[in-house]
Amino acid sequence: MIEAKNEKITISSTGVPLLDKLIGGGISSGSMVCCLINPKSMAEILIFQLSSVGKVLYFTTEYKPENVMFKAKEFGFDTQNISFVDIYSKFNYGEKEQQSPTFKKNLYELSYIKAKNDAKLFIDTIKLPKDTLWKFEFWTNEKVIEILGDLCNKIFTKLLKTKEKSSFQFTKINPKTKRFEIDLKDCPECNELSGFKERVCYYHAGLFAGMLSSLLDTEMTAYETQCRAAGHESCKFVVGIGSDNDIQDNVKTFFNPASLPKEEEISLFTEHSLKQIEDKENNIIMIDNFSFYIDIIGNKDKIRRLLNRISEFTTKTHSICYLYVFKDTHSKDMENMIVNKCDVVFDLDVGISGDNITNLLIISKLRGKIVPTKRIKIHINDRIMLDTSQEVA
């Protein structure tokens, strides 16, 4: 029997007051919202307005971040609480090749650094006795496995916030040089990934480096040598002293994969971007626009996996994620899959009758609440304004 956590669900404003009133005060935390958009509808105003509430992580695919900020400010929106993930520059129009070499310090390395710091901070709170690893360099391999191996396994399990003991184990140990090889079966970072040519478990490499750095009071670093995502039976890591030249060379290669296909790199890049705020709750995540991902990735199963990861992250951090999707552009089964996965669906369309053009909003899905039964006329100027007195039957 699975017990539900007694967590209070908060309601956040959409930034559109009358819309909040229609949907019971706003959007529930942990919700993924699909915004099905007719490109003719000036929908960027809705995107800016939805992004004007709270702390926002904004994935931009259509423009550079500075252009998005310029357009938002032009309409009078405050952008100081928006942090951008520049998908546009990384994956569009060959601009990837024009980036400086430091661009890739890169989300992969940042994910590693964050994990390393997380592990160090956690171990600092444990306050282990100072003599726990006394004269470690003289230990036998058996003693290392018995004491350090068991301790690392327990810490790793706590860091992953799971009740079951992890499948972490040392396979090679050299106490004198402080060099370790680690085998991790059922790795949670890549357990749903396959078909990759490169190693992708940057976060877990960081956790191992952070744990051993703190426990051995020596600056350690780590890299992955085998990965389940690349078809191996388990994920394997090497951890060693950071000043070791061989370790440094391998880490450099690890952080700069050469052969990731574009459709795989964009998914991985997005997931590691989200990890940068996973210790912060109640964010707004804006993906503008998700149609770009669909076009680049193409494969329905890979889109489903990415949606699952975004949904899991949104729920875990009690955030709200908006997916901007062009309507009537993708296959019906792809659109239906996205709509089915989302908790809320806003459908923004344009109606043309003679010389009259009308913007219409349909709230077609509102999980856990009563859905408004009519289409609503909206006025778009520098803000989205609902005309609830002119609902369209």
- The reported pLDDT for the residue numbered 235 is 94
The answer as to whether 125 is a domain residue is: yes
- The reported pLDDT for the residue numbered 385 is 77
215 and 105 in one domain? yes
Query: CATH code at 291?
Result: 3.40.50.300
Length of the chain: 393
- 8 A C-beta contact, residue 297 and residue 267: yes
The answer as to whether 273 is a domain residue is: no
* Separation of alpha carbons 269 and 158, rounded Å: 26
> Amino acid identity of 213?
S
Helix (H, G, I), strand (E, B) or coil at 224: strand
370 and 289 in one domain? yes
210 and 129 in one domain? yes
Helix (H, G, I), strand (E, B) or coil at 165: coil
- 8 A C-beta contact, residue 353 and residue 318: no
127 and 56 in one domain? no
The answer as to whether 72 is a domain residue is: yes
The answer as to whether 264 is a domain residue is: no
Helix (H, G, I), strand (E, B) or coil at 98: helix
- 8 A C-beta contact, residue 192 and residue 204: no
SS (H, E, C) 284-330: EEEEECHHHHHHHHCCHHHHHHHHHHHHHHHHHCCCEEEEEEECCCC
* Separation of alpha carbons 213 and 210, rounded Å: 5
Report residues of the chain scoring pLDDT below 50. 1-6, 93-105, 392-393
24 and 146 in one domain? no
118 and 249 in one domain? yes
- The reported pLDDT for the residue numbered 162 is 66
Separation in Å, CA 387 to CA 21, 48, 139, 225: 13, 19, 75, 59
Query: CATH code at 213?
Result: 3.30.1380.20
- Tally of helices (H runs) and strands (E runs) in the chain: 13, 15
The answer as to whether 2 is a domain residue is: no
155 and 82 in one domain? no
Q: Which structural domain range is residue 17 located in?
A: 11-99+280-392
91 and 147 in one domain? no
* Separation of alpha carbons 22 and 2, rounded Å: 34
Residues with Cβ within 8 Å of 283's Cβ and at least 6 positions away in sequence, in order, are 54, 55, 56, 57, 277, 317, 319, 320
Strands 220-226 and 284-288, by their bridges, are unpaired
231 and 122 in one domain? yes
Residues with Cβ within 8 Å of 123's Cβ and at least 6 positions away in sequence, in order, are 155, 210, 211, 214, 215
* Separation of alpha carbons 279 and 248, rounded Å: 28
The answer as to whether 48 is a domain residue is: yes
345 and 220 in one domain? no
- List the structure tokens of 111: 């994910």
In tens, the pLDDT along 233-251 reads 999 999 999 888 889 999 9
Helix (H, G, I), strand (E, B) or coil at 343: coil
The answer as to whether 371 is a domain residue is: yes
305 and 352 in one domain? yes
126 and 62 in one domain? no
